[in-house]
Amino acid sequence: MELRDYIRVLRKGWILILALALVGVAAAAGYSIVKTPEYQATSKVFVSTQGGDTVQDLQSGNTFTQQRVQTYSDLVSTPVVLLPVAAALRLNLTAEQLAKMVTASSPLNTTLIEITVTSTSAKQAADIANATGQSLTTVVEDLETPTQKSSDVADATTSPVKLTRVQEAVVPQRPSSPNVPLNIALGLLVGLALGVGVAVLRETLDTRIRNEHDVELISDVPIVGGIAFDPKAAARPLIVQADPRSPRSESFRTLRTNLQFLNTEGTSRSFVVTSSVPSEGKSTTAANLAIALADAGARVLVVDADLRRPKLAEYMGLEGAVGLTDVLISRAELVDVIQPWGTGSLYVLPAGKVPPNPSELLGSQTMINLIALFEKEFDFVLFDAPPLLPVTDAAVLGKNVGGALVVVSAGHTHKNQLKGAVTALQNVNARVAGFIVTMLPTKGPDAYGYGRYGYGGYGYGYSESESSGAKAKTKRRATTAKRAAKV
């Protein structure tokens, strides 16, 4: 993934990231509220050696003391030190339980021992810290005191090491745990990290095509057009006719322009309009593209070659009982089934009856002859064919025309499905002329076209409310003009 991909992931998943960050903060706050407060008290013990008249004696004693300090720190958590503490303070705790509350450390290059006690009671923490320091002092003196045997009598001498408490533990006024600000900050960071991780993982595991960049990663074939998502597409499939000034209609005109310059070498201008799977908008794309080409003055024929689930006649508002199938089986003449549409130079050839062998009919010599005839009579010929993955009709037809326009539905088509569709065309040596990406979102990080290129900002914006207002204003002007003429 590139940097822009991560930025897009963050923009797409910002709600999830924010939600998990809030969950992390809430969990940290809840933990801080539920957790029992703990207090810490610390006492310090200084370790020194006895006597020493010369500098050399003092250096030797200091080295000896530093070597012993770590050993004394480890003694703090032993029963020999902690059992007297429990007895002196009358604690109902074993040495093991008390050892979990007490920690000892020695700062580097010092002869100090810091004894820290953590307890749910502030006073108890201070008492245990002081008692532990006192107990350690006694134990070390006992352990370090040498004995000399003389005439069967052991005479004790003075210990060469002396421990002195230099800091008494005081009763803490504030709990050391939980640290509410720190916990909330950690909860926020963990929530953010988890949210970003989930967003990236979701994007990585999502195999659906979301934008043009995803299509470009699959094939080097150019994207000749992008059609934005229209929630009213089902109610007005022929948007170029129903609302010619809408941004979506403009996208079909852009597609028309790209298609006109696609064949710069003068090759055939007959195209199969197909898709990978059903419901990607191939039929409405073929119909609107045909209307846009005809509006530009081209002589256009759109053929419903979907002999399994024909839709073109329904969208165009024509009778589709007789059509291509009848011509292929010689039950009707071509001039009798081709129907003009609109006031321009657009003609429609419906599918006719659904045959039992669509693939065989579309790959027959009769169909090849029809394609050659269509290419002579019309500037553009568009064949609305079935999807490529369920059936082979579009691949059979694609190898006999100028190229295939593969419709890709953003958010619907999976990457492996598009790869399979391209492979199906390549296996029969059919030319993939270009991709048409439909249902592109108009908002968000994957937004296409109108928000990105800013049509509204440059005076090309259009909406139905603006249209109604313009019509009303024109009507008022016409009424005023008539009244002035009468006067």
pLDDT digits (tens, 9 = 90+) for 418-436: 999 999 999 999 999 999 9
The residues with which 409 forms a beta bridge, in sequence order, are 438
Instruction: Please give the pLDDT value at position 106.
Output: 87
User: Mean pLDDT across the stretch 352-365?
Assistant: 91
User: Mean pLDDT across the stretch 56-71?
Assistant: 67
Q: Would the pLDDT of 130 be above 70?
A: yes
Instruction: Please give the pLDDT value at position 337.
Output: 92
User: Mean pLDDT across the stretch 101-116?
Assistant: 88
Query: What confidence tens digit (pLDDT) does each residue in 369-388 have?
Result: 999 999 999 999 999 999 99
Q: Would the pLDDT of 284 be above 80?
A: yes
The domains of the chain are located at: 3-35+179-205, 39-146+158-167, 212-464
- Give the chain's length: 487
* pLDDT, the chain, mean: 82
Q: How confident is the model at residue 480 (pLDDT cuts 50, 70, 90)?
A: very low
Q: Where are the beta strands (DSSP E) in 159-309?
A: 161-167, 223-228, 270-275, 300-304
* Burial bucket for residue 319 (CB in 10 Å: 0-12, 13-18, 19+): exposed
Query: How large a percentage of the chain has pLDDT more than 90?
Result: 41
Q: Would the pLDDT of 135 be above 60?
A: yes
CATH number of 39-146+158-167: 3.30.70.1130
Q: 């062998």: which residue's tokens? A: 357
User: Mean pLDDT across the stretch 309-319?
Assistant: 90
| Residue, of 182 and 484, whose pLDDT is higher | 182
Q: Is 234 left (phi over 0), alpha (psi -120 to 50) or beta?
A: alpha
Instruction: Please give the pLDDT value at position 54.
Output: 53
What is the C-alpha separation between 449 and 251, in angstroms, rounded? 8
CATH fold of 212-464 reads Rossmann fold (3.40.50)
Query: How large a percentage of the chain has pLDDT more than 70?
Result: 83
